Structure 1
Amino acid sequence: MKVAVLDIKGKETGRKVDLLDEVFAIEPNNHAVYLDVKQYLAHQRQGTHKSKERGEIAGSTRKIKKQKGTGTARAGSIKSPIFRGGGRIFGPRPRDYKQKLNKNLKRLARRSALSIKSKEQAILVVEDFNFEVPKTKDFMQVLKSLGLENKKSLFVLGDSNNSVYLSSRNLKRSEVISSSELSTYKILNANNIVLLEGALEGLQSNLNK
């Protein structure tokens, strides 16, 4: 699949690159996509939630009333879960939410997500660019030239570029990552994917295994 390479002004450079059908034009596997997105969201959870159970509540251990003759249910501790301020029954405990997926399934999920975006014509290939100094204004001009100023966009770089990254950091609708950070969730979460020319070779060789 041939795609025209654009410059940062949104104009065609006259060059075309070949996007592999094995990466950008497969039949999407929806279940693989679901599992990969589910794993990504699970890994965002800290798992530090905790509530005190009756054994951890500070309070008196004396029997709060006599066993019989009160006309109410017997009660032995003020820390009982049935009383206000008592411990919580089966409360949350710290846990690790990480899930394991094999590499082949994760590659399939990313190829499926890229194929979905390719079918929607939401993938742009732009020649490599850089800024002399980080400026949000310059990055916004690139977005405007590409017609992405009001859309959620994901820029994928071949190598980490500090000036481009810092220029985009204040923009809520745009994210800049390196090709090694690309995930199924990030692909699907963006309206448009902007692949820099230098990222293509490594991205395609990594996913086409």
Structure 2
Amino acid sequence: MKVAVLDIKGKETGRKVDLSKDVFAIEPNEHAIYLDVKQYLAHQRQGTHKAKERAEIAGSTRKIKKQKGTGTARAGSIKSPIFRGGGRIFGPRPKDYTQKLNKNVKRLARKSALTLKSKDKALLVVEDFNFEAPKTKDFKAFLASLGIENKKSLIVLGDSNNNVYLSSRNLERSEVITSSELSTYKIVNAGNVVLTESALEGIESNLKK
């Protein structure tokens, strides 16, 4: 499948690249996408939530009232969960939310997500570019030339480029990453995916394994 290569102004350069059928034209596996996105979101959780239980509460251990004759329920400790300031029953404890996922499933998920973007015509290829200095104005002009200034966009570079990254940092709906940072979640979460030529080479070589 051939796709026209655009320049930084959104115009066709006259060149076309052939997208690999093994990466951009497979039979999408939506369950693999679900598993990979689920793992990604699970890994964002710190798992440091903690509430004190009755054994961890600072307080007196004396029996707070006599056993009988008060007309109320017996009580032995001020740290009991039924009293204000007492411990919490079955409170949250620190937990590791990481999940394991087979490498082949993750690779299949990324290829499936890229295939769906390609089918939806939400995948663009541009030649490698750079800015002379970090300027949000220049990056916004770049997005406007591609017609995606008002959409969620993911720009994938072959190698890290500080000027391009800093130019995009103030834009909430746009994200710049390198091909090695590409994940299924980022692909699915973006409305449009823009690949530079060097990023395309890296993605294809990585996902064809």
TM-score bucket of the superposed structures, by smaller chain: over 0.9
Percent identity of paired positions between Structure 1 and Structure 2: 84
Larger mean Cα displacement after TM superposition, 91-100 or 182-191: 91-100
Partners in 2 of 1:196 and 1:129 — Cα distance? 8
What's the TM-score, normalizing by structure 1?
A: 0.98
What's the TM-score, normalizing by structure 2?
A: 0.98
Partners in 2 of 1:74 and 1:18 — Cα distance? 79
In structure 2, the residue matched to 1:166 is 166
Partners in 1 of 2:70 and 2:32 — Cα distance? 61
- SS of equivalent to 1:154: strand
In structure 2, the residue matched to 1:3 is 3
Partners in 1 of 2:16 and 2:9 — Cα distance? 16
Partners in 1 of 2:87 and 2:38 — Cα distance? 32
1:45 CA drift (Å): 0.7
Does the alignment pair 1:140 with 2:140?
Answer: yes
- SS of equivalent to 2:156: strand
Partners in 1 of 2:110 and 2:21 — Cα distance? 13
Deviations 1:182-207 (A, max 9, x none): 00000000000000011111100111
What pairs up with 1:155-194 in 2 under 5 angstroms?
Answer: 155-194=155-194
In structure 1, the residue matched to 2:68 is 68
What pairs up with 1:48-63 in 2 under 5 angstroms?
Answer: 48-63=48-63
In structure 2, the residue matched to 1:95 is 95
Partners in 2 of 1:118 and 1:179 — Cα distance? 17
In structure 1, the residue matched to 2:15 is 15
1:84 CA drift (Å): 1.2
Does the alignment pair 1:105 with 2:100?
Answer: no
Partners in 2 of 1:202 and 1:194 — Cα distance? 14
Partners in 2 of 1:74 and 1:26 — Cα distance? 68
- SS of equivalent to 1:186: helix
- SS of equivalent to 2:73: coil
* Structure 1 runs (4+) greater than 2 angstroms displaced: none
Query: What stretches of structure 1 of length at least 5 have no aligned partner?
Result: none
Partners in 2 of 1:83 and 1:34 — Cα distance? 44
Partners in 2 of 1:186 and 1:70 — Cα distance? 63
Q: How many residues align?
A: 209
Does the alignment pair 1:24 with 2:24?
Answer: yes
In structure 2, the residue matched to 1:85 is 85
- SS of equivalent to 2:118: helix
Partners in 2 of 1:34 and 1:74 — Cα distance? 52
Partners in 1 of 2:206 and 2:149 — Cα distance? 30
Partners in 2 of 1:37 and 1:152 — Cα distance? 18
